[in-house]
Amino acid sequence: MTKRFFSASTAPAADPRIGGRTVLKGVRNDALETGRLRLLVTGAAFLLAFGVIAYRLVEVTAIDPEHRNRPVASAKDGKLRFDRADIVDRNGVVLATGLPTVSLYANPREIRDPEAAALSIARVLPDLNAADLKAKLAAEKGFVYLKRNLTPRQQYEINRLGVPGLNFEAGERRLYPQGPLAAHVIGMADLDGKGIAGIEKTFDGQLRQETGEPLALSIDVRVQHVLRTELAEAVQRFQAIGATGVVLDVRTGEILAMVSLPDFDPNQPSSMTPVAQFNRTTLGVYEMGSTFKLFTAAAALDAGIANTQTLYDAREPIKIASFQIRDYHPLHRHLTVEEIMIHSSNIGAARIALDLGTAGQKDFMKRIGMLKPTALELPEQGSPLYPTTWREINTMTIAYGHGLSVTPMHLAAGVATLVNGGIHRPVTLLKRPAGEAAPGARALSAKTSDQMRRLMRAVVETGTGGKAEAAGYRVGGKTGTAEKLGAGGGYARKALLSSFVGAFPIDEPRYVVLAMVDEPKGNKETFGYATGGWIAAPVVGRIVAQIGPMLGLAPVEAPGASAKAQQASLTTGERKVAAN
């Protein structure tokens, strides 16, 4: 048998099912599989990237409340609108507005070298501490503020550093163009644009509405400036610890000016002190002294138990247990109601209150709003302090302003009720439509109101308030000098609240003006006296003389026409100006 051998070149042809086109097809399949794999990897990478972005969005909008609540400016109708609307005075003068700004923040997770980044930032922003910056940049957080309200130059320099993880946030800074002028009225908003005091807090929701319409207040910047200037000068001249004042429209209840000193600049919240933050006008409650005698007289006249010429025995002090009610400079005779007001007799006021009775006094105080907080649109509101058990002794001391504590705003609103025809209206800081008065309730008759205007004018013409005269304007009012409570619970004879509350023009009143100076010290100018007649009455006179023309009230008397009345007041000696 013959054996046959085959070489590779002469071997039989391969099976077509496992060679030729089959090999080419396998290569193509491998390429397709590789392509699919690459697409899956690329898709996964994109999915991961978008996942990180989505997480970041959730983190800064839902997890981090500080970032979420930032103010944002937007453009509508071609106008730039901020997250918070402006606040303006009654004439459209801006009191609070928004300023576009940027803040610097960082994502510490993206900061590669916290120490180097902190040093670089500190060189651009030297007011920041490098160690504090390093701690923030090394934190396990996704968001941290580094500095608010950068200047354009600071933003440019930070951007030039090129540090990954540093970013800028567009926002709004609240700006108060008038500085401290109306600080206790406006209040302020915090860094996140949230109202935390004053009007900013009360109307926080309204100011955040998208309408962008400014909030118009009743305040008149011109009148506010006069009031603040005169009170500040009195504080300095008499070395007082503070002062407060109000100008109130008696017809509408609108507050044209309200000042509490010391005050603060809301543009610099870090410089505020607790004393400066305290609003003496609406939050502080005080025994008002002899200004309350106006309410005692009004209650008696309105109840019909007396008229302006009814006599009361003021010959001797009133003795109650171990206490005595005495006059500062006693006249030792019977006094009419008019004389009790003119000479500010404590004894006479107590006698009137006894005739009126405790129930009558309490009812009248309730009608003129002295037993509850005012309706003013401020969160800083003080509640009156009055006896839980209203005894006869309380009735007598309240008659001349001790034993019932109210805010200066209560006093201004109460006197407005006495002179405006007898209607008690809620006070307001919001501008009312022209000619529209706030709804009110009758508290006393129009006849009683007319009698009170005459009594108040007599106090200025011949009584303790002579220094409140203003050339061209007939002023009526009442002085008040109250001893403050001392640390031991008794009254401190040298710690006085000296005040004057007046209305003008008194024949047809338009405005009430109140000035109160806290712990003034008498000087040569006042012959050592620190009473309301010497300290506060002249302040009101100067205010009236300045704001009268501003408010469209032309002088009706020639200069010097009231000199005779002033001279009559002065020639009665120190007794009349000091006894209040």
- Active-site residue set: 290
The 8-class DSSP code of residue 526 comes to G
Q: Which of 421, 381, 89 is nearest to 257 (CA)?
A: 89
CA-to-CA distance for 107 and 105, rounded, in angstroms?
7
Within 8 A by CB and 6+ apart from 378, the residues are 185, 187, 198, 199, 202, 279, 282, 429
CA-to-CA distance for 381 and 278, rounded, in angstroms?
11
**Counting Cβ atoms within 10 Å, is residue 14 exposed (0-12), middle (13-18) or buried (19+)?**
exposed
Collapsed DSSP state (helix, strand, coil) of residue 286: strand
Q: Which of 170, 173, 171, 195 is nearest to 185 (CA)?
A: 195
Within 8 A by CB and 6+ apart from 236, the residues are none
List 482's β-bridge partners, or say none. Answer: 497
List 424's β-bridge partners, or say none. Answer: 441
Contact 334, 315 (CB under 8 A): yes
Output phi, psi for 46, to 5 deg.
-60, -40
Contact 420, 509 (CB under 8 A): yes
